[in-house]
Copies of this chain bind each other. A is one copy, B any other.
């Protein structure tokens, strides 16, 4: 089986880490050969090295880190998933960490140190040069998950009156340009950004042209306390590659680049997907114990929900006793409702996340979902009604099944859209626990309408 997965890798996953590289790394560790390890890592991108560290066992990971020793690369640390990064940073001597983070951009340093315990955090900050340390400390003074934490201090700023030539001369003489930058930020004397000039525009213009003539007309300055999902939305919506960040007085304090926005966008989509499925903040590297513990609460919610449904069924014990076909057919109604509800729920959660569902179309979309619930409810009512009739030879059983189906699929549609919209309105995450709410609703309504109608009509 392992060989099969390997073949799969060779064919489809040209760019994913494959077993060969991982085995080479482990061989270098086995041979205790730092030079072999460095030779392998030299050809790999930092993100790929991070992937390798994530995919091996915790024990192997510690051995790799020990062998890597003083050559540990700070960029690799920024690429790691949180759980693995925490483990590694706890185990790595402070001097090695200090060396590794020294040349990172300030946003990366903030990202690495923000979750460290105060003593280790202080030690690392002390090892930075003064300008960097102050920048990192100022970033850390902003709230977590806001633009202030995402931004870097390294940026290229030009006064309004400069020409293209002034800007180029300045950049040529500057010794501390950011690692990656895409715009020159133009500021007024109060340090308020008034526009950005993409480097491509700067390149295409003559030296004597004023920067103010080349500025991007629809640039967005991002307030320092903007939540990071809003930052990601702005970058995605307006196809930006970088944006200036301003403080409460509108003064320029940093810049956010596309790679940070892209990562947040990915994380947000992943979070929604996981929450809809009742999975918490686990990572692929989480241990059995952590994973089981993180999934337990979601399963416990589902247990309460299914016991409630069981209680509803128990109220109809007499009906089931006199007609066992009811016990056979009742899960069909509940299951179809759960499925239809999950469809609506998923579409709604996603549309709220991408901000395609707003006040301008909310009522129309609610109406559409109700109509879809009715239409498909009717269609499946006919189908299951027929099945109930032919299977058990009882036409009224078919009618009861069909009616319960319509009712439950309509409720499913309503719950599927109103629950997440309600959570959003209350300021909660619409994906959070929506799934449990909706399927509890469809289970209870499904069992109740089917068994209740059966009691009224059949018995």
- Asked if A107 is an interface residue, CB under 8 A from chain B, the answer is no
Given contacts A273-B276, A343-B298, contact A16 B358 (CB under 8 A): yes
Interface 1/0 per residue, A256-282 and B, CB below 8 Å = 001100110110011011101111001
Interface 1/0 per residue, A323-349 and B, CB below 8 Å = 011011111101110011011011100
Residues of B within 8 A of A16 (CB): 355, 358
Residues of B within 8 A of A265 (CB): 262, 265-266
Residues of B within 8 A of A200 (CB): 177-178, 180-182, 199
Number of interface residues of A (CB under 8 A): 138
A266 to chain B, nearest CB (A): 6
- Asked if A2 is an interface residue, CB under 8 A from chain B, the answer is yes
Could you tell me if A331 and B360 are in contact, using CB atoms closer than 8 angstroms? no
A218 to chain B, nearest CB (A): 6
- Cα separation A291 to B364 with both chains bound (whole Å): 14
Q: In residues 135-175 of chain A, which contact B (Cβ within 8 Å)? A: 168, 171-172, 174
Task: Specify the chain B residue showing the minimal Cβ separation from A277.
Answer: B346
Residues of B within 8 A of A313 (CB): 327-328, 331
- Asked if A237 is an interface residue, CB under 8 A from chain B, the answer is yes
Task: Specify the chain B residue showing the minimal Cβ separation from A205.
Answer: B172
Question: Of the candidates B52, B306, B310, B376, which one forms a contact with A295 in the assembled complex, judged by CB atoms under 8 Å apart?
Answer: B376
Residues of B within 8 A of A263 (CB): 236
A172 to chain B, nearest CB (A): 6
Residues of B within 8 A of A306 (CB): 331-332, 335-336
Residues of B within 8 A of A321 (CB): 321, 324
A130 to chain B, nearest CB (A): 23
Given contacts A299-B380, A310-B329, contact A284 B199 (CB under 8 A): no
Q: In residues 2-44 of chain A, which contact B (Cβ within 8 Å)? A: 2, 4-6, 8-9, 12-19, 22
A83 to chain B, nearest CB (A): 12
- Cα separation A307 to B329 with both chains bound (whole Å): 8
Could you tell me if A284 and B425 are in contact, using CB atoms closer than 8 angstroms? no
- Cα separation A299 to B409 with both chains bound (whole Å): 11
Could you tell me if A320 and B327 are in contact, using CB atoms closer than 8 angstroms? yes
Q: Do most interface residues of chain A lie in helix, strand or loop, or is the interface mixed?
A: helix
- Asked if A94 is an interface residue, CB under 8 A from chain B, the answer is no
Interface 1/0 per residue, A362-402 and B, CB below 8 Å = 11110010011001100110011001000000000000000
A273 to chain B, nearest CB (A): 5
Could you tell me if A380 and B328 are in contact, using CB atoms closer than 8 angstroms? no
Could you tell me if B262 and A375 are in contact, using CB atoms closer than 8 angstroms? no
Could you tell me if A4 and B425 are in contact, using CB atoms closer than 8 angstroms? yes
- Asked if A350 is an interface residue, CB under 8 A from chain B, the answer is yes
Task: Specify the chain B residue showing the minimal Cβ separation from A339.
Answer: B302
Could you tell me if B292 and A375 are in contact, using CB atoms closer than 8 angstroms? yes
Residues of B within 8 A of A371 (CB): 288, 292
Given contacts A259-B239, A320-B327, A339-B298, contact A171 B292 (CB under 8 A): no
Q: In residues 49-79 of chain A, which contact B (Cβ within 8 Å)? A: 51-52, 54-57
Interface 1/0 per residue, A196-231 and B, CB below 8 Å = 001110111110000000000010000000000010
Task: Specify the chain B residue showing the minimal Cβ separation from A318.
Answer: B324
- Cα separation A8 to B422 with both chains bound (whole Å): 11
Most B CB contacts (10 A, CB to CB) among A236, A237, A278, A335 go to: A335
9 closest A-B pairs (Cβ-Cβ)? A277-B346, A5-B359, A269-B269, A199-B199, A327-B327, A16-B355, A306-B335, A292-B375, A55-B361
Q: Contact residues of A with B, CB < 8 Å?
A: 1-2, 4-6, 8-9, 12-19, 22, 45, 47-48, 51-52, 54-57, 168, 171-172, 174, 177-178, 180-182, 198-200, 202-206, 218, 230, 233-239, 241, 258-259, 262-263, 265-266, 269-270, 272-274, 276-279, 282, 284, 287-289, 291-292, 295-296, 298-299, 302-303, 305-307, 309-310, 313-314, 317, 320-321, 324-325, 327-332, 334-336, 339-340, 342-343, 345-347, 350-351, 354-365, 368, 371-372, 375-376, 379-380, 383-384, 387, 424-425, 427, 439, 443, 447
